[in-house]
Structure 1
Amino acid sequence: MAGMVKCVRPRKSSPVLALDRSMSIAQSPVKPDAALLHDIDWGTYTRLLRAFEGRRRFRLTYDRGTLEIMSPLWEHEKAAYVLGALIDVLVQELRLQYEPGRTVTLRRRRKSRGLEPDNCYWIASAGQLAGKTHLDLGVDPPPDLAIEIDVKHSSLDRMSIYAALGVPEVWRVTSAGLTFNILESGVYEVRPYSVSFPRLAGADLLALLNQPGPTGTAALIAQFRDWVRQVLLQR
């Protein structure tokens, strides 16, 4: 992620990792590469999910009758990949059981909400997903950790959707930076440490990812793995 990050000073005590960096329906102000549709019932939403299946260049977000269809940017996809790769390193080196969900659609008809995260993982609850071939959040637990890359600023409040779906932790990237968001009493609070990886602080990622000099993605991941072995595992 070298060349994509810069140091910023957080307003509060929370560590922040900062990134460098339409079609309009019913007169809704949206970006040229996004469409916002109103008065969409649940059945139409699920039919559209099936229609878009296999065409993952589109992301669908549904919130109680409003549907946003968005095409991610390159910087969005790269940030999602790099953070996902770092999480893969963490679960491997910490020898944690986990089930990756990638961009699987998370939805609850009862909540009338649904979205695709940029990456998601079952870690503490991984055992409940082992061997499953179908995800049903009416029965199965939500992912323990989701990654949300919000460099395009969705027209919908995706964090409130994650909260309604009960996702305990979201690592969120905006133009201002990266925060660890922990679900507490139905709302997200920014915290300095991850719940999924209690020894990992946001400041750790800030220091590693903001090192000077050109670093390619492969070198960054290898460097992070070395840091996990030499520092994090010794805590």
Structure 2
Amino acid sequence: MTATTLSKSVNSSLIADQDRPLSEYRVTLHNVSWQTFESLLADLGDRRNTLFHYLNGTLEIMSPLSIHEGSNRFIDDLIRAFSDELEIDLRKLGSLLMKIPELKLGAEPDSCYYIQNEPIIRNKEVIIVGEDPPPDLVLEVDITNPSDRRLPIYALLGVPEVWRYDGYSLEFLALENGEYKPIEKSLAFPDLPAMIIVEYVQQRLTLGESATLREFRKWVRANVVVT
């Protein structure tokens, strides 16, 4: 399958799904060569609104809608606000393309963060996962489709923690012996409960995003000891 043929197939699949009220469009294609995947990345460039995940010849392409992107962006805002209040050094790299050609795998998360490894990549404009450490935390929004197929990619990349938000709850996953296991407290932010994040993500829909962020900062100051 050539990159041109693949692009036409993707567009047709996305259009066919447009009559469903989804939070994102996802297309999964099989028997896609690594060379085709690389060509597709080069042809489409970085001005696309789709995210790619590739492993063992399977390519998943996701295009987010407002429900998906709104949740992703606001959780990202909460992480920034929490880090600011606790004076935690943080580098946000959004949907950083992470790929290791030798392993023929690639991923673009909804959001990703360097926290423990922030000092290592602080002065780098170009981050190459494989040469540089992977992000300490990856966020995946799974409102319509689960991210089960993407977790093995993050495991092979060595991402120590993944958050999964499904629109109702937030799950913390930690990498253990090559697989992700649920944990009660986040490795990156142990003082930030999942239920609090979900509460404020939902609250923004009635209170508004700016006001909700102000309320969240008040909660942090009142409930988390700043050292």
What TM-score comes out, normalization by structure 2 length?
0.82
Q: What is the deviation of 1:174? A: 2.0
Matched, 1:137 2:129: yes
1:46 is aligned, of 32, 38, 48, to 38
* SS of residue matched to 2:103: coil
Unpaired runs of 5+ in structure 1?
1-22
Q: Match of 1:87, as an amino acid?
A: I
Match of residue 5 from structure 2: none
Match of residue 104 from structure 1: 96
Distance in 2 of aligned mates of 1:123 and 1:35: 32
Q: What is the deviation of 1:39? A: 2.0
What count of residue pairs does the alignment treat as equivalent?
Answer: 209
Query: Identity of paired residues, percent?
Result: 35
Q: What is the deviation of 1:55? A: 2.7
Distance in 1 of aligned mates of 2:204 and 2:46: 39
Superposed CA RMSD in Å reads 2.6
Alpha-carbon displacement from aligned partner over 1:98-153 (angstroms, at most 9, x marks no partner): 22111111112233221111111000001111121222222111000111011231
Match of residue 11 from structure 1: none
Distance in 2 of aligned mates of 1:218 and 1:212: 8
Distance in 2 of aligned mates of 1:152 and 1:35: 12
Query: Where do residues 111-130 of structure 1 align in structure 2 (5 Å cutoff)?
Result: 111-130=103-122
Higher relative contact order (CA 8 A, sep 6+): 1
Q: What is the deviation of 1:183? A: 1.1
Greater percentage in helix: 2
Distance in 1 of aligned mates of 2:205 and 2:105: 42
Structure 1 runs (4+) greater than 3 angstroms displaced: 206-213
Distance in 2 of aligned mates of 1:213 and 1:125: 34
Change (3 A) 1:207 1:125: same
What TM-score comes out, normalization by structure 1 length?
0.79
CA contact (8 A) 1:192 1:203 kept: no
Q: Match of 2:36, as an amino acid?
A: T
